[in-house]
Structure 1
Amino acid sequence: MNINWSITQTDIDRIRKVVADNDNAFLKSRYLRNVEKENIVINKEKIIQTMLMCLLTSQQRSGPNSTVGQFLRLNPFPITNNTLLECNSLELYIKTTLQQNGLTRYVNRISIFFTKNYTKINNNNWSLIDTLQELINSDSKLKERQIADNLANEFDGFGPKQSRNFLQALGLTKYEIPIDSRITNWLNDFGFPMKLTSLSLSDVGYYHFVSDGIQNLCEKAKIFPCILDAAIFSSFDNDEWTYENTIF
């Protein structure tokens, strides 16, 4: 059964307006990375940092001046592949490092999830890198969705939202976006055909359905979903994003 999405000119104008109203450093960085594919780096260190970002931001505030944001911008970043390989206890090391940097919420859960995921990636000889590189020059909505769904199934602590957050943060996706509370709140105010909740979006079939609606709306407005996501996400942060602190 096919769904016919009815999109009006008013809908299109509202989408274009939120993008125009939030044409900030965060949005511009997203465009250069995810649409123009500038400076895409897919390596072990980037994957480690991005996975940590996903696990951390699923549990707590992640604005540019948040504790999470400050931690993720540390240079050099304290958690590297070499430090992990030298650890006697990965779980304890992750937990301790997070706590030392002011991150105390759900650190037990996050360290467990990260340890399981890192171990799985390492045991698979980092074949994940080859999978991710398939998306660098891809313009396929289907491939984005397939890889995102596979990651959601494979990684502990991930679901449809964080698997897409992972890919988007790496600059690999334009169409599949993480539908978080900022997006659902905005879409509910926008007048999306059904009330969106985080609970219902944990179901992958429902997530696909909502994502299809967003993609159809963006296609009519001639705006990539990743750009709409950037506009909505940054609109909640009172112009705090700069080129220097953009990390997502």
Structure 2
Amino acid sequence: MKYKWASLAVASVLTLSIGVNALAASQFSDIAKVDGKEKIESLQERGFISGVTATQFKPEQTLSTAQGVQMLVKSFQLSLAEFQFIKAPQASDSYTKVKDGVWYSDAFIIATLNGIDVPREVDPAAKLTREQFTNYLMEAMQKAGNLPMFKIDPVAIADESKITADYQGAIQRSLALKVNALDSSGKFNPKESITRAEAAVMIYNALDYLQKHPELTNQAQNSGGMFEPSDSTGESK
């Protein structure tokens, strides 16, 4: 396999507005009372997420690894367009349990070649935890937005001892950029399975941040690759 790396421009993710206004009627009949309903509808309208059926999103259903990887690849518009191959890649080239030629195969291929560190031994049917999905999402956000290094003040997390060490950086970045939020007790609940609704809201928040901060690449170039995340008003924290 021969390929070349190239950064995706922020504009490739942001060519479609992700505002929640003027939305078409939702095709999902089971999200009327779900927190983040408008965000789910916005992603669905743009083809970034799909339902479990034509009319049901199943918001409280736990997210499988295959579903999560597919959602991230579609939402951040990751692709193989910037790569050159001698032989077309197969999912089985990179994974031991990901089948070739099924609905999620291409998503896993695209994910791994775009720097999303999904373990080689991953089970596509396995439930994703909050910390796992956060880690994958922040890697997808980094690739799509070409984000610089973060200078952040770590947030105190009540159940930090339960967080896998390798995921701590991604979790702190997600909190700094308001992709994630702690619960009312200040906990992240890293080992809990993430629901489809929670994952969709996080994706929306990440895309929204990129849309509102197109200056990130310039800041990285002008400040040696380091910047301080800013809030929704554009003021540095």
The TM-score, its normalising length taken from structure 2, stands at 0.31
Q: TM-score, normalised by structure 1?
A: 0.30
RCO comparison, higher one (Cα < 8 Å, 6+): 1
Q: Which has the higher helix share?
A: 1
